[in-house]
Structure 1
Amino acid sequence: MEQFISLTLGGVVNGSVYAAFALALVLIWRSTRIVNFAQGSMAAATTFIAVAVIDAGGSYWLALVVALLSGLVMGALIERVVIRPVEGGPELNAVIVTLGLFVAIQGIVALVAGVDERAFVPPFSTVGYEVREGFTLLSLSRNSIWTVGAVLVTMLALIALFRFTRLGLAMRASAFGQEVARLLGVRVGRMLTLGWALAAAVGALAGMLIAGDVSFIGPTFMDTLIVFGFVAAVLGGLDSPIGAVVGGLLLGLALNYVRGYLDDSLLGMAALVILVVVLLVRPGGLFSTTAARRA
Structure 2
Amino acid sequence: MQQFLTTTLSGLTLGFVYAAFALALVMIWRSTRIVNFAQAPMAMLTTYVALTVIDAGYSYWIGFGSALVVGFVLGVAVEWLVVRRVDHSVELNPVILTLGLFIVFHSVAALVFGSQFRSFPAPFGVRGFEVGDTTIALTGFGIFTILAVLATLVLLLLLFRFTDVGLRMRASAFNAEVSRLLGVKVGRMLSLGWALAAVVGSLSGLLIAGGGLVHPSYMDPVVVYGFVAAVLGGLDSPLGAVAGGLMLGLCLSFVSGYLGSELVAMAALLVLVAVLLVRPGGLFASTAQRRV
Asked whether the two chains share a fold, i.e. TM above 0.5, the reply is: yes
Letter in 2 for 1:108: V
Distance 1:173 1:291 in 2: 17
Task: Go from structure 1 to structure 2 and tell me whether the alpha carbon gap of 1:87 and 1:171 turns closer, same or farther (over 3 Å shift).
Answer: farther
Q: Which residue of 1 aligns with 2:30?
A: 30
Shift of 1:290: 2.6
1:218 aligned residue (215, 219, 224) = 215
Shift in alpha-carbon separation, 1:220–1:195, aligned structure 2, 3 A: same
Among candidates 187, 196, 199, match of residue 197 of structure 2: 199
Describe the shift of the 1:87–1:192 C-alpha distance in structure 2 as closer, same or farther (beyond 3 A): farther
Alignment partner, residue 281 of structure 2: 284
Aligned match of 1:147 = 145
Q: Which amino acid aligns with 2:161?
A: R
1:92-111 maps to which residues of 2 (within 5 A)? 92-111=92-111
Native 8 Å contact 1:284 1:293 kept in 2? no
Write out per-residue CA displacement over residues 22-59 of structure 1, whole angstroms, 9 at most, x where no aligned residue. Answer: 00000000000000000000000000000000010111
- CA distance in 1 between counterparts of 2:139 and 2:177 reads 50
Contact 2:19–2:246 at 8 Å: present in 1 too?
A: yes
Amino acid of the residue matched to residue 209 of structure 2? A
Aligned positions, number: 292
1:237 maps to which residue?
Answer: 234
Describe the superposition over 1:43-89 as per-residue Cα deviations: whole angstroms up to 9, x where unpaired. 00000000000010111111111000000000000000100012532
Q: In the aligned structure 2, how far is the partner of 1:98 from the partner of 1:211? A: 23
Aligned pairs for 1:3-22 (under 5 A) are 3-22=3-22
1:61 corresponds to which residue?
Answer: 61
Q: Which amino acid aligns with 1:122?
A: A
Q: Match for residue 269 of structure 2?
A: 272
Unaligned runs of 5+ in 1: none
| TM-score (ref. length: structure 1) | 0.97
1:294 deviation in Å?
Answer: 7.6
**Quick one: percent identity of the two aligned structures?**
59
RMSD of aligned residue pairs (Cα, Å): 1.1
Q: TM-score, normalised by structure 2?
A: 0.98
Amino acid at match of 2:7: L
Q: 1:18, 1:252 within 8 Å by CA — same for their partners in 2?
A: yes
Match of 2:254 in 1: 257
Does structure 1 conserve the Cα–Cα contact (< 8 Å) formed by 2:226 and 2:245?
Answer: yes
Q: Please tell me the residue identity of whatever aligns with 1:197.
A: A
1:210-248 deviation per Cα after TM superposition (whole angstroms, max 9, x unaligned): 0015x1000000000110000000000000000000000
Residue by residue over 1:67-115, the C-alpha shift from the partner in whole angstroms, topping out at 9 and shown as x without a partner, is 0000000000000010001253211000000000000001100111111
What are the Cα deviations for residues 94-143 of structure 1, in whole angstroms up to 9, with x where unaligned?
A: 0000000000001100111111010011110011111221x101x20111
Aligned with residue 163 of structure 1, among 158, 161, 164 = 161
| CA distance in structure 1 between the aligned counterparts of 2:22 and 2:179, rounded to whole angstroms | 27
Do residues 124 (structure 1) and 124 (structure 2) align? yes
Other structure's SS at 2:288 match: helix
CA 87–124 in structure 1, closer or farther in 2 if over 3 Å, else same: farther
1:239–1:292 contact (8 Å) kept in structure 2: no
Q: Is the 8 A contact 1:19 1:245 kept in 2?
A: yes
Q: Spell out the pairing of 1:177-196 with structure 2 (5 A cutoff).
A: 177-196=175-194
> Aligned equivalents of 2:227 and 2:77: distance in 1?
23
Change (3 A) 1:114 1:146: same
Deviation beyond 3 Å, 4+ runs, structure 1:
291-295
Structure 1: distance between partners of 2:87 and 2:287: 26
* Closer/same/farther in 2, CA of residues 87 and 240 from structure 1, 3 Å limit: farther
Quick one: distance in 1 between partners of 2:175 and 2:183?
13
SS in 2 for 1:290: coil
Structure 1 counterpart SS, 2:210? helix
Q: Which runs of 5+ in 2 are unaligned?
A: none
| Inter-partner Cα distance in structure 1 for 2:45 and 2:60 | 16
